[in-house]
């Protein structure tokens, strides 16, 4: 049995090369030869880490997922819920901008390859589960509506993912700051009860309702 090298830097080099090859040639057209030539290693080194190019793309998808799930797990602070949502959504905007090429690639590949589709679904289900736990936490604190947490998390995740995808992959002319603020407002007002706190310690206000000091 061939020993597997214990060298994280080599694996990282291979994944970086795979990302370049997939981005330049497309997943279907890219070959292992294209990956190893960009990494400056032999075929044997590649196969010591990955059985095929599908496994390399799946590894890239899971690397993206680590950052995605970490953001989704961030608790939404009860002192300023909307600010917490903006922070999380701003982090997701960073992640989608950083990985725009890969998001486009694996979205397409997941529709063509059932195994990659399973990885895609696994990541999405984990993302939804993290959001659902935060919904349940907010409900337990008496801050959120008594909706089904999983259904709400699925809808919220779909709204976020599609908006981010359209902005960074399909180049929809959406200002980043406006998109993040709008997603936070929609999320907040769809889920939270009036007693939840808006920014600055005020009770939540309906969208478009001015602050008390701005009313005449």
14: CATH? 1.10.10.60
Q: For the chain, which residues score pLDDT lower than 50?
A: 1, 3, 199-216
If one counts the domains in the chain, the total is: 2
Angle of the 81-98 helix axis to the 100-112 helix axis, nearest 10? 80
pLDDT value, residue 201: 43
Residues constituting the chain: 216
Q: Six-digit token pair at 201?
A: 């310690």
Residues 84 and 163 in one domain: yes
Residues 10 and 83 in one domain: no
The predicted-structure confidence for 63-122, as pLDDT tens digits, reads as follows: 887 877 777 666 655 567 888 889 889 988 998 998 888 888 888 888 888 888 888 888
pTM for the whole structure: 0.73
Asked whether residue 39 is assigned to any structural domain, the reply reads yes
Asked whether residue 205 is assigned to any structural domain, the reply reads no
Q: Please name every residue paired with 144 in a beta bridge, in sequence order, or none if there are none.
A: 192
Q: Six-digit token pair at 151?
A: 């259904």
């Amino acid at each position: 049995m061939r020993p597997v090298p214990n060298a994280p830097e080599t694996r990282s080099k291979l994944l970086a090369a795979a990302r370049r090859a997939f981005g330049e040639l497309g997943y279907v057209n890219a070959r292992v030869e294209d990956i190893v030539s960009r990494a400056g290693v032999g075929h044997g080194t590649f196969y010591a880490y990955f059985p095929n190019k599908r496994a390399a793309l799946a590894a890239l998808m899971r690397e993206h997922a680590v950052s995605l799930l970490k953001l989704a797990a961030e608790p939404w602070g009860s002192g300023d819920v909307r600010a917490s949502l903006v922070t999380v959504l701003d982090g997701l905007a960073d992640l989608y901008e950083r990985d725009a090429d890969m998001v486009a690639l694996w979205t397409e590949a997941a529709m063509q390859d059932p195994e990659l589709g399973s990885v895609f679904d696994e990541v999405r289900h984990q993302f939804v589960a993290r959001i659902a736990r935060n919904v349940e936490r907010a409900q337990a604190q008496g801050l959120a509506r008594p909706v089904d947490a999983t259904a709400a998390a699925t809808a919220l995740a779909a709204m976020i993912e599609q908006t981010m995808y359209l902005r960074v992959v399909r180049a929809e002319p959406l200002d980043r700051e406006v998109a993040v603020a709008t997603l936070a407002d929609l999320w907040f007002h769809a889920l939270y009860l009036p007693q939840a706190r808006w920014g600055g310690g005020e009770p939540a206000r309906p969208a478009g309702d001015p602050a008390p000091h701005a009313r005449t």
